[in-house]
Amino acid sequence: MSTILSKPVDLADSGEQPGPQSPRKRLLLVSYHFPPVGGAGVQRPVKFVKYLKQFGWDVSVLMAANPSVPVFDNSLLVDIPEGTHLEKARTWEPDYALKKNMANKNDGPRKTGLLSPLKSTCKKAVKAGAGLLLQPDAQILWYPNALKAGKQLLKRMPHDAILATAPPYSNLILASKLKRLFHLPLISDFRDEWDLSSKYLENHQKDHLSDLIQTRLQKKVMRHSDAIVATTRASTQRLLDRAEQFGAAPVGQCIYNGFDPDDFDTPTDVSRPYSPESGRRFRIVYTGTLWNLTTIEPLVRAIEAVHQSQPSLLKHLELQVIGRKTPEQRELLQRLDRTDCTLIQEDYCAHHEALKKMAAADALCLLLSDVEGADRVAPAKLFEYLAIQKEILSITPVGETAGILQDFWPEGNFRASETGKLASWLTGRLQGQAVTPMPHPEKMNQFQREHQAGQLAELLNQLVHHQI
């Protein structure tokens, strides 16, 4: 199923006029998730597509026609340039609601009866069997139709390179196969490290056989990748080390996630700074999923500490938590019911609405659990937080995220174990303590999406030139 947005790309609008020595090139982007699919995972690929054309690269997107996903966000469609070729292939996955229901079958109250243990055992066996078969992830059910669609597209339309973004890691398996068939340079873009995803993702199969299968698949991808791109320097180096273990030697490059100035076309909220006499609450906003890699427990503990020392202060605090939450994280948030903190929860909102809520905050909360590997992670929301220029309350381990924030909001940068310091920060803000403005905001320019697309285009040009 092919789609081309209504009007061909006008080369005069590209910002770069390809001449006889610089003809336009075409990239095949393999991305199961793509608008109108919503969520943080689609921001990176769609912004690459938006800005690559300025650097002489047109893009075809191989995407799922009927993606099994939790959210859709039509507002993201505005970022797809007219003339972008969308190649859609159907997946054999069940509807997302059914997948979620199956995953939560054993979360409800335990039923009694003679057949209940047998039914529970059968359900667990079916779930385990499906997880073992669907490697590296459930999106492998997209692979047969996507491979067929990708082959047909590459046969009828010349392309110069392939880029696959993951997770899901099935994207990499598919792109690796297309690379072998058509001998095009392949960039594997790791939004998250494969091994970290296997370790921390919910409902991920965690058994020895699955580990062996995942390792074999990862080895195959690494060996066929001409370049590996990751979202932090530390992750890039880690993936290159992993590739070397597999006998591969791809080029490596860090391309951070970032922010798009076009997403901030409305003025940032400039309401007067909070003070206890202002008649409003001090608002902390968190956006994104709450799960084991971004637990809110340290902030809950700090609020509880303020409750123990100065409980009346918390009537001035409002905490907005926007995004999906695991049951464990919901239980943590329920502890705040015993305090005077106002808690507002929302499971999802469109990207442009989330940006408005961020802009209306007094402080933006960034969470990263102190677990193995988290020091190499930089959450995508970090860069939009920076662009909004509201104070950031970050609870992260020592690592790349903490290092970036040290240049912008050092006063609000804490470790998960620093409950006393967190409570002191909260107390100061609730009492109206002045906030030091962000130093050197011009340093944020390196995180603009256009700049990052330029980095990708340069890498693509190098790979294509090397192959000639």
Question: Residue 85 falls within a domain, yes or no?
Answer: yes
pLDDT, averaged in runs of 10, over the chain (468 residues): 45 39 89 95 97 97 96 94 96 84 54 56 52 87 98 98 98 98 98 88 71 95 98 98 97 98 72 84 96 96 98 97 96 98 94 94 97 95 96 97 95 97 98 91 94 98 89
Long-range contacts of the stretch 94-100 (C-beta < 8 A, 24+): 94/68, 95/68, 96/68, 96/69, 96/70, 99/68, 99/138, 100/70
Same domain as 246, residue 204: yes
Q: What was the pLDDT predicted at 37?
A: 96
Q: What was the pLDDT predicted at 370?
A: 94
Q: What's the one-letter identity of residue 150? A: G
Q: Is residue 168 reached through a cis peptide bond, with omega within 30 degrees of 0 on the bond before it?
A: yes
Q: What are phi and psi of 434, to 5 degrees?
A: -65, 145
Same domain as 282, residue 246: no
Which pair of structure tokens corresponds to residue 173? 């398996």
Same domain as 253, residue 297: no
Same domain as 278, residue 173: no
Count of domains forming the chain: 2
Q: What was the pLDDT predicted at 17?
A: 41
Question: Residue 52 falls within a domain, yes or no?
Answer: yes
Q: Alpha carbon of 359 to those of 99, 107, 165, 352, 384: distances in Å? A: 35, 36, 29, 11, 10
Unique residue bearing structure tokens 């921390």: 200
The dihedral formed by the CA atoms of 395, 401, 402 and 407, expressed in degrees to the nearest 10: -120
Q: What was the pLDDT predicted at 8?
A: 31
Contact 286, 319 (CB under 8 A): yes
How far is C-alpha 439 from the geometric centre of its chain's CA atoms?
27
Burial of 309 (0-12, 13-18, 19+ CB in 10 A): exposed
Same domain as 167, residue 49: yes
Q: What was the pLDDT predicted at 215?
A: 95
Question: Residue 8 falls within a domain, yes or no?
Answer: no
For the stretch 349-368, pLDDT in tens is 999 999 999 999 999 999 99
Same domain as 427, residue 461: no
Same domain as 405, residue 422: yes
Same domain as 247, residue 154: yes
CATH number, domain at 68?
Answer: 3.40.50.2000
Provide the whole-model pTM: 0.88
Question: Residue 117 falls within a domain, yes or no?
Answer: no
Q: In what order do the strands lie in the sheet with 317-322?
A: 342-346, 317-322, 282-287, 363-367, 391-395, 413-414
Q: What was the pLDDT predicted at 278?
A: 85
Contact 426, 301 (CB under 8 A): no
Question: Residue 302 falls within a domain, yes or no?
Answer: yes
- The domain in which residue 413 lies consists of 261-445
Same domain as 453, residue 436: no
Q: What was the pLDDT predicted at 443?
A: 92
Same domain as 146, residue 69: yes
Which pair of structure tokens corresponds to residue 353? 């609405």
Residue 287 DSSP SS3: strand
Task: Name the β-bridge partners of 413.
Answer: 394
Give the number of other CB atoms < 10 A from CB of residue 230: 25
Burial of 206 (0-12, 13-18, 19+ CB in 10 A): exposed
Same domain as 281, residue 197: no
Same domain as 336, residue 418: yes
